[in-house]
Amino acid sequence: MSGILSYGFMRNALAAGVLVSLACGVIGTLVVLKRMVFISGGVAHTAYGGIGLAFYFGVNPLLGALAFSLGASLLMGWAQRTTRQRPDTLIGVMWAIGMAIGIIFADLTPGYKADLMSYLFGSILAVTPTDLWLMLIVDVIVIAVVVLFYKEFQATAFDESFARTRNLPVNFLYILLVTMIGLAVVMLMRVVGLIMIIALLTIPAAIGSLFLKSMDKIMWLATGLSVVFTIGGLLLSYAFNLTSGATIILVAGMAYLIALLVRRLCQRCPVE
């Protein structure tokens, strides 16, 4: 263990694991409870368009990802709220178009493009101190917003019609939430890659909601589980020389299957 910690990149990677887990646990819980898994996947994949464009124009890819991610959040959030018919189709179409834009602009960019793969599959070992600061800022924003609007988020996730009859600003809260999903997506991209973001965003919260009876407890447990999955996956990937993002997701996926099994075998187990 101390051997691993002597590497600077490993210390950064472990810190990144903890930092993303905070946003993951908090936002992931809202994503799962408000059934926004699909829209989150859409935002993550659309961000690839921004990465491709940024590569082409020689800008920092994270900026491109951020712009596309926030743009996709707002557009998909708007589609979800205002179109009566099949918002999931619109989201699916944007998802694919975003990916296509990224691939085309990567094609148009001359030179070696191996770095593009790291956004698809993650590269937690390449996290820089600047990335860590950005992650910390996102964490602070996300946690502050959720603490401020906790009871309103809970009410709209549970029953939006009722929240509307209480005159709560349900549209504002929704847009706020998708914006935070957009931020979290950019941050998670460094760790597991945009293809696997949905898994890390949803699995810890999904496990929590199997066993706990309140949203705040689920957020805590999801954060803890997310730390365990990212750090555990990271160490396993180091030990067996595997791709870190994929290992993290497999660890999380195995845990989810086990949790489902436990819940099934123990239907009458109390929820805390």
Q: Phi and psi at residue 36, in whole multiples of 5°?
A: -115, 30
| Rounded-to-integer distance, Cα 80 and Cα 187, Å | 23
Q: Which is nearer to other proteins, 14 or 26 (CB)?
A: 26
The residue within the footprint of other proteins, chosen from 11, 37, 78, 164 (CB under 8 A), is 164
- Please check whether residue 82 is in contact with residue 18, taking contact to mean a CB–CB distance below 8 angstroms: no
The residue range among 105-113, 149-157, 233-241, 252-260 that interacts with other proteins, by the rule CB under 8 A, is: 149-157
Residue 191 near residue 121, CB atoms below 8 Å: no
Is 207 near other proteins (CB under 8 A)?
no
Position 33 contacts other proteins (CB under 8 A): yes
- Does the protein bind other proteins through residue 81 (CB under 8 A)? no
**Residue 212 engages other proteins in binding (rule: CB under 8 A):** yes
Closest CA to 38 of 83, 84, 93, 113: 93
Please count the residues of this chain forming the interface with other proteins, following the rule CB under 8 A.
Answer: 27
Residue keyed to tokens 């993951």: 24
Q: Which two tokens stand for residue 161?
A: 């019609």
Is residue 57 at the binding interface for other proteins, with CB under 8 A as the rule?
A: no
Extended beta strands in the chain, E state:
none
Q: Which helix (H) or strand (E) holds 103?
A: helix 87-108
- Least distance CB 149 / other proteins (angstroms): 7
Question: Which of the ranges 108-116, 158-166, 189-197, 237-245 carries the binding residues for other proteins, by CB under 8 A?
Answer: 158-166
Query: By the criterion CB under 8 A, which residues form the site for other proteins?
Result: 33, 148-149, 151-152, 154-155, 157-159, 161-169, 208-209, 212-215, 218, 271
